[in-house]
A and B are shown apart, each in its own frame.
Chain A
Amino acid sequence: MGKSKAKEHAITSASGAELLLNSLIKEGVKVIFGYPGGTVLPIYDALIHSQIRHVLPRHEQAAVHAADAYARVSGKVGVCLATSGPGATNLVTGIANAYMDSIPLVVLTGQVQTTLLGTDSFQEVDITGITIPITKHSYIVKDARQIPRIVKEAFYIARTGRPGPVLIDLPKDIQAAKVEPESDEMNLKSYKFFSKGNAGQIEEAAHALAECERPILYAGGGVITSGAGEILREIVEKENLPVVTTLMGIGSLPSTHPNLLGMVGMHGTVTANYAVDDCDLLIAVGVRFDDRVTSGLGQRFATKAKVIHIDIDPAEIGKVVRTHIPIVGDARYVLEDLAKDLVPPKIDSWWEQIHFWQKEQAQREESRENTQQLTPQDVIRILGEKADPQAIVTTDVGQHQMWAAQCYPVTEARHFITSGGLGTMGFGLPAAIGAQVARPEAQVFLITGDGSLQMCIQELATTVQCELPIKIILLNNGVLGMVRQLQKLFCDERYNQIQLQSNPDFVKIAEAYHILGIRVTRLEDVAGAMEKAIVFDGPVLLDFTISEDELVYPMVPSGKELTEMLGR
């Protein structure tokens, strides 16, 4: 055996860059989102002969966002690549974005050659040091022979347990070195994660469920990550549980499901917020009680409820709210075990209460003035009617993101792609690129605003170069709408630095990139423009002129309780 192994090594002697690409192929990597530069020349040289597809955006930030969205849509690990120094620092926002939303990424950065490390050499930056707080783990490769093991470990760490970004920093001389690789056997003695939940705790949860009177199932991004949607739906239907989701949990249940009360929290539905506040059993699945849900009031959140918290990360249990029945494990496995032995609770009067809230809210909405103005909600609703039910929607960050979360009919998991935890303006267009690369056959829509779009607008070129027929729904109000809303409500309308007066003509911008641009200013033109865009073979930018006075309601002001909503 020793002999044959030695022979195998002799054959596989390769450069560090080749070892890297071979290891990526072994991990099933089909595409890298990257941007070349001086310290990654050996990798780009090796890529010429590789089967791996390379997508070239116009900024490294777009590379990491696209890889992030690729991971969200496909469920695989996203891979991005940048050169050292500014290339690496341009990834930082995207890495933080993936870290906050627990998205599996392997981030490859070039580094100056090892003999120059620590000498402040050209385009040198300590990227592993900079990214320690925003990566699950990171490596600096000091010996090319270890590349197969390091890559294998990086993918394993990125995708298992609570997923997250892992960074590998590769000095240029390490990429160029010709070596005989060491074994790729992983050496991760101290890395552990949970899959199955504790049987006793699950039994206790089942017991609590059988006895409750006012339950709420509160579903988050963990449901999507673990693929727990199906079993969640089974439990929800068997027990007739009302469900609320977080922003990251959108798609846990189809938006038309009768048990879904909508999103909870700052811009959640009235019914969802009342119901969470009033429930006596909160079954939290794959959530982290973010302050956009709890208003930062962990101790005053759902105070009448016994809390069951199912999460794969033990550190999330008890971090924000007191938990009565903690279950550490993968949401899908835990729910599968929980589903085995359930007794439906008697909650008819709870549903009566919920329906009462829903009806009350519907009446309030109906009584509002019905104008013929073009509202952002109309645009998103019409998009929902015209789009393929299997379409993927990505968003940027701001008012349009919340309107999309509230109004777009998401049918299933991994179809609503948004920057939840970090709230990164500029995420949307690169995310649409990553989504379309992951699912070339799917309709991909970007819902964005004029502020966010301009943070990564250079990526219009990427959609053209890579022939990605993304449809951009631009809700254009000429202001930074969410900040304007905050200044309106909490600064007595002292508007400051929110006017984007010098906005370009976005239709002309689109045309300059050889993209079809259509401006829509009237409600009656929305549907036709959508239809035209959808059938058009190529990217389209639809510029919808909306009023700057449109607000996102309801709204729970930061620091207020869920029931203290404005604009009900």
Chain B
Amino acid sequence: MLHTLAVLVENNPGVLTRVSGLFARRAYNINSLSVCSTENPGISRMTIMVDGDDAVIEQVTKQLIKLVVVHKVTDLTDEEIVDRELALVRIKVRADTRLEILQIVDVFRGRVVDMGRSNLTVELTGDAEKIDAFVRTIRPFGLMELVRTGNIAITRLDS
């Protein structure tokens, strides 16, 4: 099962190597990993999507916490969360497909951020499933390039 882990780490050089190296040497599978600084400049937050059963996730969590640079690990899988991914998608267009493609982009609430004679680039945010769906829909028209950030997630505060 796919788990979403929020990992607060020190914002130092080498921290990413420590974390990603741990996954590699203990044979855990990272589906995606995104990292950037947080509201606290000394702290970065990694959002790691990792595949595994409960025992594996428990080990991943405990091994991560053992790293001196890791402040906190939260498994967001069973939490109420908002998760988002950003994708930039370059699509081949012809005169006769342009309109249809723009309609699809519109349905997915994407935004055209660059447009050429034979291609256009779309910015799209959403959860991973939505981006998967968009990519599936657009692929027959000619998918030229796809860049995804990987998931980031935040818990919902009780309303």
Q: Determine whether the beta carbon of B71 is less than 8 Å from that of A189.
A: yes
Least CB distance, A300 to chain B, in whole angstroms: 16
Q: Give every chain B residue within 8 A of A318 (Cβ-Cβ).
A: 55, 58-59
Q: Determine whether the beta carbon of B68 is less than 8 Å from that of A137.
A: yes
Q: Determine whether the beta carbon of A157 is less than 8 Å from that of B68.
A: yes
Interface 1/0 per residue, B63-75 and A, CB below 8 Å: 1011011111000
Least CB separation from A189: chain B residue: B71
Some 5 contacts from A to B, beta carbons below 8 A apart, are: A132-B18, A133-B21, A133-B25, A190-B72, A315-B59
The answer, yes or no, to whether B17 is at the interface (CB within 8 Å) is yes
Q: Give every chain A residue within 8 A of B70 (Cβ-Cβ).
A: 190
Among A157, A188, A313, A315, the most chain B Cβ lie within 10 Å of the Cβ of A315
Least CB distance, A107 to chain B, in whole angstroms: 15
* Total cross-chain contacts (CB, 8 A): 34
Least CB distance, A363 to chain B, in whole angstroms: 44
Interface 1/0 per residue, A408-448 and B, CB below 8 Å: 00000000000000000000000000000000000000000
The answer, yes or no, to whether B116 is at the interface (CB within 8 Å) is no
The answer, yes or no, to whether A136 is at the interface (CB within 8 Å) is yes
Known: A133-B25, A189-B71. A319 touches B17 (CB 8 A): no
8 Å CB interface, A83-99 against B: none
The answer, yes or no, to whether A191 is at the interface (CB within 8 Å) is yes
Q: Determine whether the beta carbon of B17 is less than 8 Å from that of A313.
A: no
Q: Give every chain B residue within 8 A of A129 (Cβ-Cβ).
A: 14, 17
In Å, the complex CA distance between A188 and B72 comes to: 13
The answer, yes or no, to whether B85 is at the interface (CB within 8 Å) is no
Least CB distance, A145 to chain B, in whole angstroms: 17
User: 10 other contacts beyond A315-B63, A315-B65, with CB at 8 A cut-off?
Assistant: A132-B18, A133-B21, A133-B25, A190-B10, A190-B70, A190-B71, A313-B66, A315-B62, A315-B66, A318-B55
8 Å CB interface, B136-157 against A: none
In Å, the complex CA distance between A188 and B68 comes to: 8
8 Å CB interface, A136-153 against B: 136-137, 140
Least CB separation from A157: chain B residue: B68
Interface 1/0 per residue, B22-60 and A, CB below 8 Å: 000100000000000000000000000000000100110
Q: Give every chain A residue within 8 A of B55 (Cβ-Cβ).
A: 318
Report B's interface with A, CB cutoff 8 A.
10, 14, 17-18, 21, 25, 55, 58-59, 62-63, 65-66, 68-72
Report A's interface with B, CB cutoff 8 A.
128-129, 132-133, 136-137, 140, 157, 188-191, 313-315, 317-319
Q: Determine whether the beta carbon of A132 is less than 8 Å from that of B21.
A: yes
Q: Give every chain B residue within 8 A of A314 (Cβ-Cβ).
A: 62, 65
In Å, the complex CA distance between A189 and B71 comes to: 7
In Å, the complex CA distance between A187 and B62 comes to: 22
In Å, the complex CA distance between A557 and B66 comes to: 33
In Å, the complex CA distance between A129 and B16 comes to: 12
Least CB separation from A328: chain B residue: B62
Q: Determine whether the beta carbon of A128 is less than 8 Å from that of B59.
A: no
Least CB distance, B67 to chain A, in whole angstroms: 8
In-complex Cβ contact of B68 among A128, A133, A136 (8 A): A136
In Å, the complex CA distance between A37 and B57 comes to: 45
Least CB separation from B42: chain A residue: A189
In Å, the complex CA distance between A157 and B69 comes to: 12
Q: Give every chain B residue within 8 A of A157 (Cβ-Cβ).
A: 68
In Å, the complex CA distance between A132 and B68 comes to: 12
In Å, the complex CA distance between A530 and B135 comes to: 79
Q: Determine whether the beta carbon of B69 is less than 8 Å from that of A190.
A: yes
In Å, the complex CA distance between A313 and B58 comes to: 13
In Å, the complex CA distance between A123 and B18 comes to: 24
In Å, the complex CA distance between A446 and B10 comes to: 44
In Å, the complex CA distance between A132 and B17 comes to: 8
Least CB separation from B69: chain A residue: A190
Q: Determine whether the beta carbon of B59 is less than 8 Å from that of A319.
A: yes
Q: Give every chain A residue within 8 A of B65 (Cβ-Cβ).
A: 314-315
In Å, the complex CA distance between A224 and B59 comes to: 25
Least CB separation from B62: chain A residue: A315
